[in-house]
C-alpha cells in the first residue's frame, strides 16, 4: 500500500490514524523503512500515546488535534477522520482510505475539491489486492516477514484461545486494544 498506492518517496511526511492499533502499529515503522521523513501518528486517547511512540512514531497526538501538512495520510478510521485527512494533505498529497473502524457512514469528498487543490484520494484493500495480484502480495509479505526477522519491524501480538473469541470481539469493538489479537486454534 505504501509504495504501490501511496507511492511514497524518500523524505515524504506521513500521518497514520489509529497508530497504536493492529495496522497502525506497523504502518509508521514501514513508512520509515521505506524512507519517509516526518512520521506522525494519531490516537483516540491519552492512554495510547506512549504505546504508539513505542512503534516508532516521531510524534503522536490525539486525533482531535488535527495535525496537518502531510504528503500521505492513511485513514482506517473513517467518518470525520476522512474529512480531516483531506484537509491535512499538502498540495500533491495522497489520502489512502483503507478502513472504517469508527463504523461511521461513508464520507464523500467532492471531486472538484481534489481538482482545485491537487490532492489525490485512493483506496487499498488487502483481500482484493491479494486476489488480483497474488505474486505481488507474496513479495510484499516476504519483505515484511524479513523486516520482522531482522528486528526492523516491531510486532505486538496478544494470543487468546479460540474459546475466548467472544472476548476478543468485545475488546476490538471497544477500541481499546493495541497491536493485534490472535486466536490460537489447537
Q: Closest distance between ligand NAP and the C-beta of residue 56, in Å? A: 16
Burial class (CB in 10 A: 0-12, 13-18, 19+), 135: exposed
Choice between 142 and 169, CB closer to ligand NAP: 169
Pick the piece of the chain touching ligand NAP (CB under 6 A) from 15-23, 83-91, 139-147, 152-160: 15-23
Nearer to ligand NAP, 126 or 155 (CB): 126
Cα 97 from Cα 86, distance rounded (Å): 11
Residue 28 makes contact with ligand NAP by CB under 6 A: no
The mark string for 115-134 relative to ligand NAP (x by CB under 6 A, - otherwise) is ---------xxx--------
Residue among 139, 138, 182 nearest 159 (CA): 182
Q: Minimum CB separation from ligand NAP for residue 159, in Å?
A: 15
Q: How far is the CB of 170 from ligand NAP (least distance, A)?
A: 11
**CA geometry: angle 48, 81, 35, nearest 5 deg:** 70
Distance CA 157, CA 25 (A): 11
Establish if 183 lies at the interface with ligand NAP (CB under 6 A).
no
Options 98, 121, 140, 153; binder of ligand NAP; rule CB under 6 A = 98
Q: How many Å apart are CA 173 and CA 69, to the nearest integer?
A: 31
Burial of 11 (C-beta count, 10 Å sphere; 0-12/13-18/19+): exposed
Number of residues that bind ligand NAP (CB under 6 A): 24
Instruction: Tell me the closest approach of the beta carbon of residue 6 to ligand NAP, in angstroms.
Output: 12
Does 9 bind ligand NAP (CB under 6 A)? Our answer is: no
Element (H, E) at 149: helix 134-149
Amino acid at each position: 500500500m505504501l509504495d504501490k498506492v501511496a507511492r511514497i518517496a524518500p523524505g515524504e511526511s506521513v500521518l497514520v490514524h489509529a497508530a497504536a492499533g493492529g495496522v497502525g502499529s506497523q504502518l509508521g515503522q514501514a513508512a520509515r523503512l521505506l524512507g519517509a521523513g516526518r512520521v506522525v501518528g494519531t490516537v483516540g486517547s491519552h492512554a495510547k500515546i506512549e504505546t504508539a511512540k513505542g512503534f516508532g512514531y516521531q510524534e503522536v497526538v490525539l486525533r482531535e488535534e488535527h495535525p496537518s501538512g502531510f504528503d500521505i495520510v492513511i485513514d482506517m478510521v473513517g467518518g470525520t477522520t476522512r474529512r480531516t485527512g483531506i484537509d491535512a494533505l499538502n498540495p500533491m498529497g495522497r489520502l489512502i482510505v483503507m478502513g472504517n473502524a469508527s463504523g461511521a457512514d461513508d464520507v464523500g469528498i467532492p471531486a472538484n475539491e481534489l481538482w482545485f487543490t491537487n490532492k489525490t484520494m485512493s483506496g487499498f484493500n488487502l483481500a482484493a489486492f491479494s486476489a488480483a495480484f497474488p505474486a505481488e502480495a507474496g513479495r510484499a509479505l516476504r519483505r515484511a516477514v524479513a523486516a520482522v526477522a531482522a528486528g526492523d519491524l516491531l510486532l505486538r501480538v496478544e494470543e487468546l484461545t479460540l474459546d475466548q473469541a467472544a472476548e476478543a470481539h468485545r475488546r476490538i469493538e471497544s477500541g481499546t486494544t493495541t497491536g493485534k489479537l490472535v486466536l490460537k486454534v489447537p
